[in-house]
Amino acid sequence: MKIKHFKLISILFFLAFVCAYSIGSPTESNLVVTTLEEKNQNHNKESFPIKPLSVKINEIHVTSRVRNRYAVTTIQSKVKNYNHKAKQASFSVILPDSAFISNFTMEINGQNYTAYVKEKEEAKKIYDEAVAQGSSAAHVATARDSNRFTVSVNVEPETKAAFYLTYEELLKRQNGFYQLVINLHPGELVRNLDVVVEIAESRKLVNVKVPPIRTGNEVQSGINDLDPRAVLDIVNDTSAVIKFTPSEERQKALAHSLGMKEEEGLAGQFVVEYDVERDPIGGEVLVQDGYFVHFFAPKDLKPLLKYIVFILDTSSSMWGQMIRQLKEAMYEVLDQLHPNDLFHLVEFNTNVRVWNLNNYLQSVWYPTSDDVYWSESYGPEDIANRTFPEAYMVNGDNIKKAKESISKFEAVSATDIHTALQVGMHLIKTTKQNIKYANHQPMVMFLTDGEPTVRETSTQKILNDISKLNDQKTPIFALSFGEAADKNFLQKLSLNNYGFSKHIYEGADAALQLQDFYRQISSPLLSNVSFKYEPSVTSLTKNEFSIHFDGSEMVVAGCYDQTENFDESFGNVTAWNGHDTVSMNFTVQRTVSSIERLWAYLSVKQLLDQKEVDEENKALIQKKALELALNYSFVTPVSSLVVVKPNATSSVDVENAKIGEDYSALTDNRFGGVPLSAGLYSDFDYDESIDVPDYNYKTTEKASNDLFMSYPWLNSIVDKEGFITISKGKYKLGLNETISDVVQCKANNKPGYCVLLNSCSQAYSVILSLNDYINYFCELQNEYAGVCCLID
Ligand SMILES: *[C@@H]1O[C@H](CO)[C@@H](O)[C@H](O)[C@H]1NC(C)=O
Ligand SMILES: *[C@@H]1O[C@H](CO)[C@@H](O)[C@H](O)[C@H]1NC(C)=O
Ligand SMILES: *[C@@H]1O[C@H](CO)[C@@H](O)[C@H](O)[C@H]1NC(C)=O
Ligand SMILES: *[C@@H]1O[C@H](CO)[C@@H](O)[C@H](O)[C@H]1NC(C)=O
Ligand SMILES: *[C@@H]1O[C@H](CO)[C@@H](O)[C@H](O)[C@H]1NC(C)=O
Ligand SMILES: *[C@@H]1O[C@H](CO)[C@@H](O)[C@H](O)[C@H]1NC(C)=O
Ligand SMILES: *[C@@H]1O[C@H](CO)[C@@H](O)[C@H](O)[C@H]1NC(C)=O
Ligand SMILES: *[C@@H]1O[C@H](CO)[C@@H](O)[C@H](O)[C@H]1NC(C)=O
Ligand SMILES: *[C@@H]1O[C@H](CO)[C@@H](O)[C@H](O)[C@H]1NC(C)=O
Ligand SMILES: *[C@@H]1O[C@H](CO)[C@@H](O)[C@H](O)[C@H]1NC(C)=O
């Protein structure tokens, strides 16, 4: 019989990224590598009822090179199809929400196919043309999670495939350190799994740490069993290498501690944290080849006095756990306010209540209950006509009363975001008019779990109105709580209003997430921060920031004319420190590692953000972003990744994946916002109709070599002719044979079918030693050595 012949498809791919990158403050970094089994594999009912042989990941290597906080991470995943039929191998990755993919290569049949980045529409056109020409129908594999990037490739029997994905990101400093997070979810035990992180900074490293492996879901508190036992090699003051190489045994143990199934392998986040020693004043500028980057995170400053308006959603959807968690978090947050800070407590649902801490009954409900609340919306004039309580000073008494007020929060009725924010803006305006409070830095912490549902429900109108009202340039920090919140709107709200947004995931740890977020904004150090350089500096990224928080960092990059000497007098940083406008000098250092990509990355990021808020210049901004993205091969919301068969004339496509939908399927869905949507249309070009029973396939010489590599203990019992000798006798290993007998057996008291070793995919994770082999051994046709391959 003819060996089933698959034309290798795989070759036409298109990966499109329709992304709403998390604007503002991405914190989670995520990466998942997995191999997924094809569904409905057992079409041939007469075939073995055992778990079908499958594609196995033999190696995963993750290498992350961090230079001046810019991390370039490459994942290599090598798979092999041990089946007798062509099988689909999927490579699935969840990207850090701030990362751009910059390279994707597939190695199939010893040949590399590298993706290139194209403009979205152009890519779509190519695909449409190909389809029109009658190329076979596209196979759609939409990513389940909007962050997940999945590529599926058909792999011919007994052959290997490899995937190489590179992505780049600028590490963000938060709470005083940088964090590189690598998510590992191979979905199975992997014989060769390693992660190598190389850090080389221009400044001395401080506190390089490898915290426990995390699930990526709940904020955990130090679980001893999850120490990755990574090898941390401090090469010198400025560079370090971290290696994480868990054996299969260790992967099982970690999986177990993470609450996963052992045989599904490690599923968690490997994290490296560090900080650098820094210039206490104006920051450090690194220069190289016409590009520079300025890192600014001054130390030893007194926090500014702040005036924070909490605007908290208590609509009926907050009922139950969510409002409990909000209360719990707010008690902690109130305790962390600094003495002499000011605050207002605003609760909103259909009505907006500005709490009077001294007299609950006099808290101002706005609009009052006799208003017909579902009718027209209210404007600033309506609000100006009311009298609200003054801002409260932080002291023991007021905090106590504020907690009592919070305890009275009740989840009822609908969500009037428009009025709530307008009231907030009004409170800020009136409070800042009080000369006593002129030095208090105003800010808004806005939390909602839903969309606007009463009065003004157009998010665009809300954005416009609030921007107009916010003449104090008050930063608004918007928190979207739970999956029903309109994250996209809240991101824009913050972006428009000098702040950043964050998504709070529903879960047992929601209160901790809220507190964690508050910690980031709890200590404003400087406001109105402006970076100035000599006029010869061009292509400058954003250089004016409304507020700088303790533990974070500001980054500005640009180009300079190399004929000029970039030194300490080339510019300075000015800012308001609560009392004076201060000017700070920076230090300058030449560096060997390139800064160009860092600059390009930052420029593209900021253009994409700008595009969201600047309706007028949207097209121009998008064009600029695209040009840069194409020049540096970044896969962004405006560019697409295309893999095309060399010499192919056809077939590429665009996935118009919807953003932010359908992320429920993944257990670990805490991937920092709704950043990235990845989709794939691949053009599978094999003929289903030629179906030949599995068993006629003959393994190749190459396969037997792999068998010995996969099972090193086999060498000690096999002879040159391919016979093995064990206590029960001498048997043929059957490297070149296929046995189609259905022989039931039992091993470890579980039922299975006796098959040749090379036909049992589970064996790779089960039979790790000669002893295991003896336990699973069974005889086939009185002469062949089989193993009992368990059913599931
Ligand atoms: C992408 O990776 C491939 C394979 O490693 C390499 O040949 C190619 O030069 C890379 N492309 C870019 C743009 O870095
Ligand atoms: C394909 O690219 C990878 C990554 O750069 C490289 O390691 C491998 O050797 C390449 N394979 C071929 C056949 O060129
Ligand atoms: C530290 O080690 C790295 C890597 O070996 C090297 O490139 C760098 O020059 C060294 N730095 C110093 C200050 O010795
Ligand atoms: C403001 O309040 C006064 C007195 O209650 C009322 O007469 C007036 O119509 C109100 N103005 C607006 C714009 O609501
Ligand atoms: C912010 O700083 C600039 C100078 O860098 C100054 O011109 C401006 O008035 C300041 N704005 C505020 C609100 O202090
Ligand atoms: C900052 O730099 C300017 C110009 O180089 C210089 O005049 C000034 O003295 C410096 N200030 C400090 C505090 O070093
Ligand atoms: C700050 O830098 C700018 C640009 O180099 C320069 O014009 C200005 O004089 C500097 N101010 C101070 C106080 O050094
Ligand atoms: C992109 O590269 C081309 C050619 O190198 C260059 O002319 C162009 O200015 C670059 N565009 C951007 C935005 O960097
Ligand atoms: C494309 O086709 C030409 C002519 O058939 C061949 O010489 C060349 O090697 C092919 N290129 C690739 C990458 O397959
Ligand atoms: C398997 O077949 C190959 C080629 O037909 C032959 O060279 C090899 O010796 C055979 N191996 C065994 C163990 O029979």
Contact by Cβ (8 Å): 155, 55: yes
Residue nearest atom 12 of ligand 9, based on CA coordinates: 646
Residue located nearest, by CA, to atom 8 of ligand 9: 647
Q: Is the CB of 738 under 6 A from ligand 1?
A: no
Q: Which residue has the higher pLDDT, 258 or 589?
A: 589
Res. 620 pLDDT band, cuts 50 70 90: very high
**Which comes out higher in pLDDT, residue 544 or 143?**
544
Residue 586 CA, ligand 6 centroid: distance in Å:
9
Q: By mean pLDDT, which of 355-369, 422-436, 490-504, 613-627 is the weakest?
A: 355-369
3-state helix, strand and coil shares in percent for the chain, rounded to the nearest 5:
25, 30, 45
Any idea what the Cα angle at residue 41 is, between residues 37 and 45, rounded to 5°? 160
Look at residue 32 in the predicted model and tell me its pLDDT: 24
Residue 442 beta carbon below 6 angstroms from any ligand 7 atom? no
The predicted model gives 591-609 an average pLDDT of 94
pLDDT at 88: 74
Which helix or strand (DSSP H or E) is residue 493 part of? helix 487-496
pLDDT band per the 50, 70, 90 thresholds, residue 748: confident
pLDDT at 440 over 70: yes
Q: What pLDDT is attached to residue 128?
A: 57
Give the per-residue pLDDT at 675: 22
- Cα–Cα distance list, 514 to 207, 212, 252, 315, 347 (Å): 26, 22, 33, 18, 17
Query: Is pLDDT of 654 > 60?
Result: no
- pLDDT at residue number 11: 24
Q: In the structure, which protein residues have their CB atom closer than 6 angstroms to any atom of ligand 9?
A: 646-647
Closest by CA to 700, choosing from 174, 3, 103, 193, is 3
Q: Express each pLDDT in 10-57 by its tens digit.
A: 222 333 222 222 222 222 222 222 222 223 333 333 333 344 457 889
Residue 671 pLDDT exceeds 90: no
Q: Tell whether the model's pLDDT for residue 369 goes beyond 70.
A: no
Task: Determine the pLDDT at residue 378.
Answer: 78
| 230 in contact with ligand 8, CB cutoff 6 A | no
Tell me, what's the pLDDT at 644? Answer: 52
Q: Give, rounded to a whole angstrom, the gap between the first and last alpha carbons of the chain.
A: 30
Would you kindly state where each structural domain of the chain is located, as residue ranges? 3-276+635-678, 281-303+524-585, 306-522, 717-790
For residue 110, give the ligand 2 atom closest to its CA: 13
Condensed to tens digits (0 to 9), the pLDDT of residues 760-771 reads 877 777 888 888
**What is the distance in A from the centroid of ligand 9 to the CA of 10?**
17
The region of weakest confidence among 219-223, 337-341, 658-662 is: 658-662
Higher local confidence (pLDDT), 228 or 396: 396
Of all protein residues, the one whose alpha carbon is nearest to atom 2 of ligand 8 is 631
Model confidence pLDDT, tens digit, residues 107-161: 887 888 777 777 777 766 655 554 454 332 222 222 223 356 767 677 778 888 8
What's the confidence (pLDDT) of residue 4?
30
Q: Which of 440, 472, 581 to mutate to test the pocket of ligand 5 (most atoms within 8 A of CB)?
A: 581
CA dihedral over 128, 132, 133, 134, signed as positive or negative: positive
Side-chain-side CA neighbours of residue 632 (13 Å)? 24
The two beta strands, 87-94 and 148-155, are antiparallel
Atom of ligand 8 nearest to the CA of 631: 1
What's the average model confidence in pLDDT over 395-420? 94
List, chain by chain if needed, residues with CB within 6 Å of any ligand 3 atom.
200, 235-239
Q: Which residue has the higher pLDDT, 135 or 665?
A: 135
Angle at 152 between CA 31 and CA 654, to 5 degrees: 90
- CA of residue 721 to ligand 10 center, whole Å: 9
CA-closest residue to ligand 7 atom 13: 583
Q: Which ligand is nearest to the CA of 111?
A: 2
For residues 139 and 683, is the Cβ–Cβ distance under 8 A?
Answer: yes
Tens-place pLDDT, residues 700-711: 344 555 677 677
Residue located nearest, by CA, to atom 3 of ligand 10: 701
* pLDDT tens for each residue of 463-520: 999 999 999 899 999 999 998 999 999 999 999 999 999 988 888 888 998 999 999 9
Indicate the Cα dihedral angle 718, 721, 725, 728, nearest 10°: 140
Range from 262-276, 529-543, 582-596, 732-746 carrying the lowest mean pLDDT: 732-746
Within 10 angstroms of residue 653's Cβ, the number of other Cβ atoms is 26
In a mutational test of the pocket of ligand 1, which residue from 63, 100, 105 has the highest number of ligand atoms less than 8 Å from its CB?
105
Mean of the per-residue pLDDT values of the chain: 79
Our answer on whether the CB atom of 107 is closer than 6 Å to any ligand 2 atom is yes
Pick 256 or 22 by higher pLDDT: 256
CA of 122 to the centre of ligand 9 (A): 24
Confidence band, pLDDT 50/70/90 cuts, at residue 312:
very high
User: Which ligand approaches the C-alpha of residue 75 most closely?
Assistant: 2
Predicted TM-score (pTM) of the model is: 0.75
* Ligand 7 atom index nearest CA of 569: 5
Cα–Cα distance measured from residue 428 to residue 443, given in angstroms and rounded to the nearest whole number? 8
pLDDT at 643: 61
Q: Is the pLDDT of residue 8 over 70?
A: no
pLDDT tens string 448-457: 998 999 888 9
Which range among 311-320, 499-508, 593-602, 636-645 shows the weakest confidence by mean pLDDT?
Answer: 636-645
pLDDT band at 403 (very low <50, low <70, confident <90, very high): very high
* Domain topology for 306-522: Rossmann fold (3.40.50)
